[in-house]
Amino acid sequence: MLLVHPFEFVSRLGAEQKKQFERLANEVRVRKGHIIVGQGARAADVFFVVSGQFQVLIYSKDGKEVSIRTLGAGDLFGELAALDGGRRTANVVALTSGQLLQIDGADFRRLLETSPAAAIWLVQRLAAQVRSLTERIFELSALDVRSRLHCELLRLGLMAGVNGNEARIVEGPTHHELANRIGTHREAVTRELRDLARRGVITQTRREFVIHNVSELSRFVRRANGESVGVVPAPRSAAELPVALSARRGDSAS
């Protein structure tokens, strides 16, 4: 029996639909560097991440890499093509070895049609992605490199979880990957990270980032983007961090 119950989508299915999912889903193991989904491909399978990390990215004609987001255990991808029958909008590449569950797009749609709770969950998830992308468009259009990096680090810290006033980002992005995410070059990211380290806000050891003062980083973000921009205003203090974290994870009812 497949271990599907940790997935939020599956938890919203009825008992019979859960059995159908377990019968229809195929286990797939991948190695680091494997391309699971290719941009522009005609395919509609949906993938659920059991373990590992996966990068969603787009390449321009001249080979420039644009990073969209990183996926981990509990996430899913491929649902857009399953819903509208269109081509794949991005590449998904394995950053580490991992395990996936794969289900045919038509079967995925039938599960949605017979489970209103799962369908509503997916709509809320897509709405959260629209909010997040709107936030990033604003950052890329209106903020300088320093502020864009602060926003991305705060976003990663909140998603990783805040303990007191500290967040630990394990297996975080490289300087090159951060640069792709915020639309700049690696040297600029390295320079700004050194400035944050000098201030005592953050330290980095290989791929691990430790934000020692999330409240201070939040203050930087709030000063740059104001109170009315973004999915969630940057928390004013450590006391507000749990609220911001809940909203960033899509738990907000708004």
- Nearest alpha carbon to residue 198 among 186, 213, 208, 187: 213
Based on the fold, state whether residues 101 and 167 are members of the same structural domain.
no
CA–CA separation, 181 vs 55, rounded Å? 11
Evaluate whether residue 129 is within a structural domain.
no
Largest CA distance in the chain: 56
Q: Is residue 150 part of a domain?
A: yes
| pLDDT at residue 227, as a whole number | 53
- Residue 28 sits in the same domain as residue 89: yes
- Listed in order, strand segments (DSSP E) in the chain are 26-30, 35-37, 46-51, 54-59, 65-71, 76-77, 91-94, 98-103, 162-163, 166-169, 202-205, 208-211
Q: Is 225 inside a domain boundary? A: yes
Residue 140 is predicted with a pLDDT of 87
218 and 143 belong to one structural domain: yes
60 shares a domain with 149: no
The domain boundary, picked from 82, 114, 146, lies at: 114
The answer to whether residues 90 and 152 belong to one domain is no
What is the count of structural domains for the chain?
Answer: 2
- The 8 Å CB, 24+ separation contacts for 145-148 are 145/182, 145/184, 145/188, 145/189, 145/192, 146/192, 146/195, 147/220, 147/221, 147/224, 147/225, 148/182, 148/183, 148/184
Task: Print the domain residue range for 191.
Answer: 138-248
Read off the pTM: 0.75
Q: What are phi and psi of 127, to 5 degrees?
A: -65, -40
Q: What is the full per-residue pLDDT of the chain (254 aa) written as tens digits?
A: 445 456 899 999 999 999 999 999 999 999 999 999 999 999 999 999 999 989 999 988 887 888 888 898 899 999 999 999 999 999 999 989 999 999 999 999 999 999 999 999 999 999 998 988 888 888 888 899 999 999 999 988 988 889 889 999 988 888 988 998 898 999 999 999 999 999 999 999 888 999 999 999 998 998 887 654 443 444 544 455 544 444 444 433 33
| CA separation for the pair 171, 228 (Å, rounded) | 31
Residue 49 falls inside a structural domain: yes
Residues 210 and 173 in one domain: yes
At 227 the three-state DSSP class reads coil
> Residue 29 belongs to a domain with what CATH number?
2.60.120.10
pLDDT of residue 6: 63
Do 144 and 243 sit in the same domain of this protein?
yes
Strand order in the sheet with 202-205: 162-163, 166-169, 208-211, 202-205
Residue 242 CB-half CA count within 13 A: 3
Considering the domain boundaries, does residue 194 fall inside one? yes
Do 213 and 162 share a structural domain? yes
Residue 177 and residue 93 share a domain = no
Strands 162-163 and 98-103: unpaired
Residue 124 within a domain: no
| pLDDT at residue 252 in the model | 35
| Cross-sheet strand order for the sheet of 65-71 | 35-37, 91-94, 54-59, 65-71
